[in-house]
Amino acid sequence: MKLEKYKSDSQVNFFFINSHQTRLFNKRDLIYKVGDKISELYVILDGEVESLINKKSKGTIKTLKKGSVLGLMDTILNREYSKNMVAKSKVSLAIIDKKRFVEKLYSNPFQFSLIKSLAIDVDIEKPNIWS
Amino acid sequence: MKKIFFHKEVILKRGHFSKSFIIVTTGKAIVLDSLGRNIKKEIFQYQSFGLVDVLKENRWKNTIVSENKSEILFISRDVLVKNIFSNRPFASITLNLLKMAN
């Protein structure tokens, strides 16, 4: 069973369907910071976002582009935001309510446990990269 | 499929295709380094190993052995894919996570 056939539809649709609002950020605006309690996830609709470990960090860990989901890893692993997310350019983000997202996750406990195991593996393989 | 392994018995062998990922149901498993001499990582009870490799259809990079007696649950790729991709929300989340693993 190849994964490719699932990619085009599923990858984007679910997150957009669950979003009811968008928000604009100007260049260098802080989207969220390390340690903040998660209330929302964000999908990049347009523009770029930089992921930084802390405010003083000079090196960018990641530059995230259209389609990336901010806060996904932190939500699945049930932790606070683990990175600072800063708008690298003017950015348009779709907002996903964390509570609704988590309800969907927990709707099937076995599937959720597989997703969580996958998230843990990814987080171990690439520590300190994803938020 | 559940299987019992005895001390130092090989659970997964380096170089073999990853057809199933594992969950340690009792005991402990050890991930060896590429030379098979040193311990790279320990897998404790209720922890899983190999999900990403199974989804990517990789070969195992490391050999995994049992420490003392252990019971291991093997979940095949077919079962994993069938469950994760059975609905769009979970398929979408999985694909996002796999993108992060690359």
- Smallest CA-to-CA distance from A78 within A47, A115, A52 is with A115
Q: Is the pLDDT of residue A1 over 50?
A: no
Neighbours of A97 (CB within 10 A): 15
Choose the weakest-confidence range: A6-20, A117-131, B71-85, B88-102.
A6-20
B85/A117 touch (CB, cutoff 8 Å), yes or no:
no
- Please, which residues 27-86 of chain A have a Cβ atom closer than 8 Å to chain B? 69, 72-73, 76
- Could you give the CA distance from residue A122 to residue A112 in angstroms, rounded to a whole number? 15
Give the model confidence (pLDDT) of A70-122 as tens digits: 999 999 998 999 888 999 999 999 998 888 888 888 888 888 888 888 888 88
Measured in degrees and rounded to the nearest 5, phi and psi for residue A86 equal -125, 135
- Smallest CA-to-CA distance from A67 within A14, A22, A12, A18 is with A12
Give the model confidence (pLDDT) of A41-81 as tens digits: 999 989 999 988 765 555 557 888 888 889 999 999 989 99
- Smallest CA-to-CA distance from A3 within B60, B2, B102, B23 is with B102
Element spanning A44, H or E: strand A40-46
Counting residues of chain A whose pLDDT is more than 70, the rounded percentage is 80
Q: Which residues on chain B are in Cβ contact (under 8 Å) with A117? A: 23, 48, 51
Tokens of B80: 């994993």
Q: Is the pLDDT of residue A17 over 70?
A: no
Q: What pLDDT sits at residue A113?
A: 85
Lateral strand order in the sheet of A69-70: A19-25, A91-97, A40-46, A69-70
Question: How does residue A10 score in pLDDT terms, banded at 50, 70 and 90?
Answer: very low
ipTM surpasses cut 0.90: no
Q: What pLDDT sits at residue A126?
A: 76
Chain center to CA of A68: 6
Instruction: Report the residue from A1, A104, A105 with minimal CB separation from B81.
Output: A1
| Orientation of helix A109-125 relative to helix B77-84, angle to 10° | 110
Give the model confidence (pLDDT) of B36-66 as tens digits: 888 988 999 988 899 888 988 889 999 999 9
Instruction: Report the residue from B48, B90, B98 with minimal CB separation from A111.
Output: B90
A108/B52 touch (CB, cutoff 8 Å), yes or no:
no
Q: What pLDDT sits at residue B95?
A: 84
